[in-house]
Structure 1
Amino acid sequence: MPGPLLDTLNGRRATRVPLWLMRQAGRYLPEYRDLRAEAGGFLAMAYDPPLAAEITLQPIRRFGFDGAILFSDILVIPHALGQDLWFETGEGPRLAPPLIDGVWDALTEAPARLDPVYETVRLTRAALPEGVTMLGFAGSPWTVATYMVAGQGSKDQHAARELAYRDPAAFSSLIDVIERATVNYLIGQIDAGVEAVQLFDSWAGSLAPDQFERWVIAPNARIATAVHAARPEVPVIGFPKGAGAKLAAYARETGVDAIGVDETVDPLWAARALPLAMPVQGNLDPLLLLAGGEALEPRVHAILRAFSDRPHVFNLGHGVGQHTPIAHVEALIRIVRGWSG
C-alpha cells in the first residue's frame, strides 16, 4: 500500500507532509557508529547487503521517517565501470586511474560489483513497515564524471570543467557511458524493490549556464526518459544542488517527477518559479538542524507555508551533518508532524 511519500511524489497531496532526510543513515546515529566500529570502512559496509540493509533501516526504527534511502554511494558506478575505488580516512573517496583525458574505454567494466546493492534493496524492502517508501538513488553523470576525471573530490571541479571545455567530444563520451550505466543501475534497483529514485547532482552549481544545459539538464533528461519508458510507475526525483535560478529550467526540461531544492533557494521563489503542481522536496539548511534552538521552528514553518499549495516532501537542503544532535532531529519531526497548515 503506497504511503504518504510515494503519494506525494506521484503528485497527490497527502493528508500530512511526508518527511525523510538525505543522509539520514549515517554518522550522527550512535547505532551506525557502533556498526562502523565493528565492520571497518565505509565501502565494506556498503557492499555487505545484510549490514547495508540494517544501516538503511536504523533511522526508520528510530524516527519513523516516511522514506528509507538506500545506504550506498554514488561512486559505485565508476567502480562498476572499472575504476578502482577506496576511501582515505579523513580525506574521502579515491578513484584510479583518474580519467584526466576522458579516456574511459581502457577500463574493464565490472557490473557484478553492483549485485550487492540490489540485494541490499531486496533485504531492506522486505523488512520495511507498510507505507514506508523504499528510495533508491544514483549520482547524475556530471557529478560522477567530476570524480572519475580528477580521481577524487575537489572544491571547484576544475579538472572536469577544464576537460569539458578543452575536449568536449571526449567528455561527452564519458558522460554517455555514465548515463547508460546509470539507467541500467536504476532499473536494477527498481526491479529489486525500490519505489522511487533520486538523481543526485551535488556539483551542478559549479557550471556556467550553457555547460549546465549540456552536462546537467540533457543527461538527466535522457535518464528520466529511459527510466520512465522502462518502469513508468516509478517517480524520479531530480536534485541539482546549487542550481539556483537554473532550477526552473531543470524542472521544465528534464522530465523528472519531483524536484529537490537546496537550502540556498528561497522557497517562496521556488513555489512561484517551478512548474505548477510539481512535487517539491526540501529545503531546511542542514546547519540550522545542527544548531537547533529557537530559529528551527519558524524556519520549518516558513518552508511548509511556502510549499503549502503543492505536493511537498519535507527534507533538508542536503545531507544530515555528522555532528547533528539526535534531539534536534526529534524536534524537527515533532514540528513537521504537528503542522496543520
Structure 2
Amino acid sequence: MTTLKNDTFIRALLRQPTEYTPVWLMRQAGRYLPEYNQTRARAGDFLSLCKNPDLATEVTLQPLARFPLDAAILFSDILTIPDAMGLGLYFSQGEGPKFERPLREEWEIRGLTVPDPDVHLRYVMDAVSQIRKALDNSVPLIGFSGSPFTLACYMIEGSSSSDFATVKAMLYQRPELLHHILDINAKTVIAYLNAQIESGAQAIMIFDTWGGALSHAAYHEFSLHYIQQIISGLKREHNGVKIPNIVFTKGGGNWLESIAATGCDAVGLDWAIDIGTARKRIGDKVALQGNLDPSVLFATLDTIRNEVGAVLKSFGHGNGHVFNLGHGISQFTSPENVVAMVDAVHQLSKQYHTK
C-alpha cells in the first residue's frame, strides 16, 4: 500500500476533514489545451489516441503539468464499451461519435453480450496502469464509465441526438428490449470499472449524461435502477484502500435524494442547482461535487474569482465538497482562466475548513 502525496480529493469524497476544497475538471485533458491538440494530431484521430496507452498517459498528465489540480482522470471515452461490443465506433470530423451498427433489430439486441474488459478493453487497463506509475502517487487517478442508459442512447441512436426519439420509442413500445440492453450494459460497466480499479484507479465516476432527458418514472426505472446495480457491484476497497465513487446525472437536480440513496459516496451536480440547496437535501448522506457553470470561464479573472467564491460560500463550512464544473470544460476556454479558477478554489476555500 502506497500513500498518496495529495489525498485531499479522496478525503473530501469520504467526507473527511481537509485543509481546503479539492478541485479537478470534467474534460480537463482536452481540446482547450494546445498540447493536447498536438498530441491528438500525432495520434491521427481521437480513437487512435484513446487506444494508445502511451499517448493516453501523455494527455492525462498534461493538465496536471499546467494546473495544481487535486486529481487526474483517465483519458478515454465512454463509448469504448459499445465499441468493444462490436458496434463499430468511429468519429466524423466535426460531427462527434457515430456507430456503424446501431442496435435497431431485435436479433441484434438479443445477441448483445458482455465483453471481457481484460481482452477487449486491454488498452484502457494498460493506460490506467501506466498513468498510475507516471503519477507516482502525486494525486489520485479517477477511472470512469458512462451509465447504462447513456451508453444505450448512443448504441440505439447510432450517434448523439437532440431528442433521443429512437431510444424513447423503444422505451415505451418495447421496454423489454431496452431493459435487455441496459442489463448487459450494467454487467459490462461493473466488470469494466472493477478492472480499472484492479489496474490502479483510486476513485470511480459514473457519467449519466443523458439521464436528465427522461421523465421522473422513466429515470428511476431505466437509468437509476441500473446505476444502483453498478454501485452494488463495485469494489469498494482495493489492497486495503477505500475506492470512493461519484454519480453524475446531468439534469438530475429533481432526483438528488434518489441518487444519494444508491449507496454512492458522492453526487455530481450540474450548474442548474444551488449547491447549498443540494447540501441541505442530501449533504448529510454523501459528498457533493460541482458545480460552477463552465461558461463562467469565458469571463474576466475577477468574475471567475467571484463566481468560485459564490459556489464555495453556498456550500458553506465543513467537509465533503469537491469543486468542479457543472459539466465538461469548453474547448474554447483559455488555460489562463483555468489557472485563475483553480487558484481561487484553493485560496478562498481555506476559510471554510477551519477547525
Offset from partner CA, 1:218-246 (integer Å, 9 cap, x none): 10111001004685821110001111211
Pick aligned residue for 1:72 from 61, 66, 76: 76
Q: In 1, are the aligned partners of 2:79 and 2:151 still within 8 Å (CA)?
A: yes
Equivalent-residue separation in structure 2 for 1:58 and 1:188 (angstroms): 24
> Runs (4+) of structure 1 moved beyond 6 Å?
none
CA contact (8 A) 2:114 2:187 kept: no
Unmatched runs of 5 consecutive residues or more in structure 2: none
Q: Larger RCO: Structure 1 or Structure 2 (Cα < 8 Å, ≥ 6 residues apart)?
A: 2
Residue 306 of structure 2 corresponds to 298
Give the distance between the partners of 2:285 and 2:113, measured in 1 at CA.
44
1:325-340 matches, cutoff 5 A:
325-339=334-348, 340=350
Conserved 8 A contact 1:82-1:110: no
Structure 2 CA distance, aligned partners of 1:72 and 1:210? Answer: 31
TM superposition shift of 1:96 = 2.6
Partner of residue 19, structure 1: 23
**2:134 maps to which residue?**
127
- TM superposition shift of 1:255: 1.1
1:277 offset after TM fit, Å?
Answer: 5.0
Q: Unaligned stretches of 5+ in structure 1?
A: none
Q: Deviations over 1:174-196 (max 9, x none)?
A: 00000000000000100000000
> 1:215: Cα distance to partner?
1.4
Which residue is 2:170 aligned to?
Answer: 163
| TM-score for the superposition, normalised by structure 2 | 0.92
Match of 1:233 in 2: 242
Match of 1:255 in 2: 263
Range that drifts further, 267-276 or 316-325: 267-276
Q: The residue matched to 2:90 in structure 1 has which SS?
A: strand
Instruction: Give secondary structure in 2 for the equivalent of 1:127.
Output: helix
- The answer as to whether partners of 1:118 and 1:188 remain within 8 angstroms in 2 is yes
Q: Which residue of the partner structure matches residue 32 of structure 1?
A: 36
The alignment's TM-score, normalised by the length of structure 1, stands at 0.95
Q: What amino acid is the match of 2:250?
A: K
Query: Which residue matches 2:204?
Result: 197
Pair 1:307-2:311 in alignment: no
Change in CA separation of 1:237 and 1:35 when aligned onto 2, cut-off 3 Å: same
The letter of the residue matching 2:229 is: R
Confirm or deny: 8 A CA contact 1:100 1:163 kept in the other structure.
no
Give 1:131 deviation, angstroms.
3.9
- Offset of residue 198 of structure 1: 0.1
Which SS does the other structure have where 1:138 is aligned? strand
- The equivalent of 2:145 in structure 1 is 138
Deviations 1:285-334 (A, max 9, x none): 11111334432222211111222334110100011100100110010011
Greater alpha carbon shift after TM alignment, 319-328 vs 110-119: 110-119
Shift of 1:18: 0.6
2: distance between equivalents of 1:195 and 1:287?
A: 29
The whole-number CA distance in structure 1 between the counterparts of 2:129 and 2:29 is: 17
Cα separation, 2, equivalents of 1:131 and 1:88: 36
Partner of 2:54: 50
C-alpha separation in 2, matches of 1:313 and 1:34: 30
Provide the aligned length of Structure 1 versus Structure 2: 340
1:55-92, Cα deviation, whole Å (9 max, x unpaired): 10111111121111000000011011121110011001
Amino acid at match of 2:111: A
**Does structure 1 residue 207 correspond to structure 2 residue 211?**
no
Q: Which amino acid aligns with 1:267?
A: I
Q: Distance in 2 between matches of 1:73 and 1:59?
A: 17
Task: Give, in angstroms, the shift of residue 130 of structure 1.
Answer: 3.0
Q: Distance in 1 between matches of 2:41 and 2:236?
A: 42
Query: 1:12 & 1:109 partners in 2: Cα distance?
Result: 37
Kept in 2: contact 1:240–1:247 (CA 8 A): no
The answer to whether the 8 A contact 1:82-1:107 is kept is no
Instruction: Give 1:22 shift.
Output: 0.4
Are the structure 2 counterparts of residues 277 and 211 from structure 1 closer, same or farther at C-alpha, using a change threshold of 3 Å?
closer
CA contact (8 A) 1:101 1:149 kept: no
- Bigger Cα displacement from structure 2, 76-85 vs 266-275: 266-275
3-state secondary structure, aligned to 1:161: helix
SS of aligned partner of 2:290: strand
Does the aligned pair in 2 maintain the 1:17–1:336 contact within 8 Å?
yes
SS in 1 for 2:99: strand
Distance between the aligned counterparts of 2:224 and 2:277, measured in 1? 20
